[in-house]
Chain A
Amino acid sequence: MAYLEIQDITKEYDNFTLSASFSVEEGEFLCIIGPSGSGKSTLLSLIEGLDTPTSGSIILDGKDITSERIQDRNIGIVFQDFTLFPSMNVEKNIEYGMKTEKKADRKRFASNLLKLVGLEGYEKRAVTSLSGGEAQRVQLARALAAEPKMLLLDEPLSALDPPLRKSIRSAIRSIHDTLGITMLYVTHDREEAFTISDSILIMHDGKAVAKGNAEELYRHPESLFTAFFTGEGTAIPAYLVYENTDGYLFFRPEDAVLSEEPLDPELYPMHVIFNDLEVVSEAFMGSGYLLGMEYQGYPMLSLSHTKPRKKHVSLMILAASMQNIAQ
């Protein structure tokens, strides 16, 4: 049995139903992503213990915690909001949830945790004097001080500036690797999820639609939603290429090679060729140009190192890198 088992839980509201089933291994770093309204926060509140599911169960470390009180779940949480206790200093905040009563141990533990999150010597600081990034590091230390079985991070970085986000993100990852603690990390930032996680769970319309590691999901999405949610791409009806085939063909822009001359399909048997595309947009992306094109009324995307001089171009894609997706 996995470390965390979400077994067929549902939560019904008047106009929304959540249903999810997945498992997380001990020490796994799982990112949960999905657009707003997809059920991320509902799922989270069920795991946190803010709410109880309509059906199904949650099992953590072999123990059914479905209807256990928040206090007894032993799940640490780092919130998006500032939730440090304003009436206590940094050290007191961290010591708040500690299990040990011995004063010396508490102090040493707190100072070690501060070292771990990169805030050595911050013990006596007032929490109201901390910057946003520092506050999140202290929250992390505080959550860890309670020796949780698992850490839940609820969009912990969304209130921070992008450069700061990157540095704290890697700090979180390294803490995970140091401690080997299971982490559930909720974010709406795809890039964040890709870089930080071992695996990703995608939520859509109240359902957990896919779980896998970043590359799997990116390379071999099982649904159009996953395909588009994990990155840019083009989906065209499959019958345009293969007769009598249902569903869609999906490819990433970087897999589509641009040619300014028309291409002869006979010469490229391993590829799918599209001729006579009209370029409708060009966006410079740094690593190249993202070109928007139209093919028989269908939009297509391609990443090109150079800017095409012609209005009409051709595309060629390795057939193996095209995904056939049913829906």
Chain B
Amino acid sequence: MKKTLVFMLILISAISLSANAPKENENVLTVYAYDSFAGDWGPGASLIPRFEEETGIKVNLVSAGDGREMINRVKMEGDRTDADVILGVTDDTAYEAYELLEPYESPMLENIPDELEFDPEHRLIPFDYGAFAFVFDSESEIRRPESLEDLASEEYRNKVILIDPRTSTVGLGLLLWSYTIFGDGDEFVAWWEAMKDNALTVADGWSSAYGLFTEGEAPIVLSYTTSPVYHVMNENTTRYEALVFPEGHEATIEGIGIIKGTDMREEAEAFIDFILSEGQTEIAVANSMYPASSAAELPDAFRYAPKPDKLFPSGQVSPEKTEELIQLWLDTMTR
């Protein structure tokens, strides 16, 4: 018992000592990124060494939670922040980040379609995007729904797995999508009232929803247009199809930007250019998103991730409006 205790004390003191040890070097570019980019399994683990090798610029990659947490952190740190670049701010939260960033007219912007450039001032530059869509199990015996409108028809009763907008960004995606299509009037309420009957369940998050779907609990689930890619690549099946609706799709665009007042401006620009060129394919595959650059090449399986004809960038809806919509949604669903 005592030995363990001593061991623990040594361990703890060793940890706390070394915790203070590494401090910022002069010539290190600090990048704040969301967890799934910066984690050991994320694309950062292989991209960063490549970038360092090619440019000789050292990068300190900091995993700073999700998009909103990153912004809060930079705000909280204020002038003291080490961050030079912030990676992974989505368009719907972008308005919170603008005040922290300086514009950058990257040469790579020419490969990025205009509809993705949600920030005309280029404080945030898109590097990948995805679109919410319903995924359909083609082995089920029901008819493929043709549109959002169609999905609300009675034949899909208990056939759809939805996700709660209160706890999931995917769920929120559908809520905003329906708002873009139907507005916030009677049409919106009517559609959701129909969906309330059609929903087998409203899951807490995408993971559980998609799990129910692949277990065959219901033939339709709210997900992304890119979802079939995994099944093609890993299971060699085209059973699951992403449905493209003519009304258009709600998109999520992820951007990268330079923190105001950085003294590493040049290095930051090099990093962004790298992400927008060489980094594109790897990030797209790892995130199951489309690359923002039209020049990027994609694995063959991405053929099964149909690109919607019409995209609605999010970020058009104010937080107050979002809150109001959630309330309206909740009232409709629990009536």
Direct contact of A and B (CB under 8 A): no
Interface residues of B (CB under 8 A from A): none
